[in-house]
Chains A and B, each alone.
Chain A
Amino acid sequence: MNTSSIPGGNQAGGSRINWQALWKYRHFYLFVSPFFILFAIFGLYPLLFSLFLSFTKWDGITAIHWAGLYNFRLMLHDELLWRSLWNTLVIGVLYIPPMLILAFLFAQILNSQWLKLKSLYRAAFFLPAVTPMVVIAVVFSLIFSSERGVLNYVLLMLNHVLPFFHFKPIHWLDSEQWSKVSVAILVVWRWTGYNMVLMLAGLQAIPIDYYEAAQLDGANAWQSMRHVTWPLLQPVFRFCLLLSLLGTLYMFDEVFVLTNGGPGTSSTNFGLYLFNLSFTDFKFGYASCVAYSVAIVVFGLSLGINRLNRRNSEGA
């Protein structure tokens, strides 16, 4: 790397490959080459190899057997796969609305000028997003403990304040009805701050003039939120939604540590299912087939959502 300057001005015209230009910009190719080399090894090759594996039976050790479309047929009758996708959906429905609403509220409040101690509040809500999931899940399994957990204790205490509800201790982690709720609570706790920060960035991008104009027109706080903030925050909101949907599908640590998909398979989401298929059962062929199929469906769906997103934001 001892070339001191790039000679300028002697561009040789021509429509064929311009070797002179390639040589002139050799540093460009050199500098971007690590990405392409690593991508070829750890991206492109795996992508093609796993496509190939989708049509095979393989445990990772013995010989690879061609299986044709067997794996795809197997998927249709794989109850656990459909169960895990269903669980993914339920967990998503349980946590995404409260999380996004809470994140929006926090962002809205933290964005107001009169609030003091902003960075303190922001830190409190945001801290969960930077902490190792495994530790947090372990703490939550303590908190959720049905016999001696803090959460059930607080719930029973509430009976003194709100006697009409008759709260009973809830089997958070060891009952099929509640295991998904527990995962959802953990996820809300973990990801609300993250979404809050994204929405805060979105709010701060809204020009203050808009609010002043709304105020001049006699809009009250609610009206300016409804007619200024809400429409302008739509893209951020949809983006958070998309991230959360994908996150739920491929979520792993949360479920793996807190419930390990149980009791039974009641909280097994797709991410955990795929992991178990790959690294517990070592069904590499079938797992590749499932991963590929779901990824393609998801890709199609997000393309659809994105298009909707763009059409709507153009209309606004």
Chain B
Amino acid sequence: MNKAQKPNVMALRLATYIMLTLLAVVFVFPFYWLFTASFKTQAQIFVTPPHWIPSHLMWSNYTDLFQQTNILRAFFNSVVTSAGSVLLSLFLCSLGGFAFAKYPLAPGNNRMFAFVLGTMLIPGAVTLIPTFEILVHIHWINTYWALIVPGAVGAFGIFWMRQYMGANLPDDLLAAARIDGCSEFGIYWRIAVPIAQPALAALGIMNLIGSWNNLMWAFIVLRTPSMYTLPLVIYLMQGEMSTPWGMLMAGGVFTVLPLVIAFLLFQKQFVAGITAGAVKQ
């Protein structure tokens, strides 16, 4: 690096910093607005000029939220369905990916894998109605299963795990385990899964974002308030006539916070997961 930098380079960098910071503030602002509005009264939320900083932290929106709505139940439902879809999909995708990567001589391996990839071209919009009908017939409407099972093994997950295991799982290791008397499932469970942890983390996060945020499918298949997930509760809190804005914002914070905390803790894996999701061409 050139030590004696020209002043105009420094000026350019300063300008870049200022612009970048300004834009970052704009991008973070809705979160800030959500958070502060959750501590305001209805009147304070809509006051002009706006209260940029709430005068004091008013907790009544949160106490209302817990007393007037079933938000804890919704939180529980969201946790169960998200954890269920993430775990089931991680298990089945890694098992399938392991098989495709490590039994290359199995007759039909390549053709079956090509088929798996081909299924990625099917848009969800086309299969929506029949899938709904199936769930009606097997009485899965208004159950956790409806949110967990239909999307459990994505073609992309299998592709992703196959790529990772193919590149990072030495055949010698598997052969040695076989000689030691390890079963095929044991090889997958005790050798492949631990080695594939980074790939599993990325895939899991991708699935987590999808299932935690899922509104449309929850809207279609959930019927009774006791089964509602967080996004659905938030959506339905908006009234035709009047909306309890403060409480709605508190509910929003409650819905957003788990993912934001997880994101700040595992930023690297989140980025890897999101980027991974886009590799499917």
Contact = CB atoms under 8 A, between A and B. Distances in A.
Interface of A: 1-6, 18, 21-22, 25, 27-29, 31-32, 34-36, 38-39, 41-43, 45-47, 49-50, 53, 60, 102, 106, 109, 114-115, 119-136, 138-140, 142-143, 145, 147-148, 150, 153, 189, 192-194, 197-198, 201, 239, 243, 246, 250, 252-253, 256-257, 271, 274-275, 278-279, 284, 287-288, 291-292, 294-295, 298-299, 306
A5 B278 CA distance: 38
A1 B252 contact: no
Contacts, number: 249
Interface in B22-79: 23-24, 27-28, 30-31, 33-34, 37, 45-50
A93 B70 CA distance: 41
Contacts of A275: 216
Contacts of B98: 31
A298 B123 CA distance: 10
A143 B182 CA distance: 60
Given A5-B178, A35-B92, A139-B34, A150 B50 contact: yes
A46 B238 contact: no
30 contacts: A4-B178, A32-B95, A35-B96, A36-B112, A38-B153, A42-B149, A45-B130, A47-B126, A124-B28, A126-B263, A127-B27, A127-B31, A132-B213, A134-B234, A138-B238, A139-B30, A142-B33, A142-B45, A143-B30, A193-B27, A194-B278, A253-B216, A257-B215, A284-B129, A284-B133, A287-B129, A291-B126, A291-B129, A292-B126, A294-B125
User: In terms of DSSP, what is the predominant structure of the interface of chain B?
Assistant: helix
4 closest residue pairs by CB, A with B:
A46-B130, A31-B99, A25-B106, A46-B127
A252 B256 CA distance: 19
B212 A295 contact: no
B46 A135 contact: no
Interface residues of B, number: 90
Contacts of A122: 267, 271
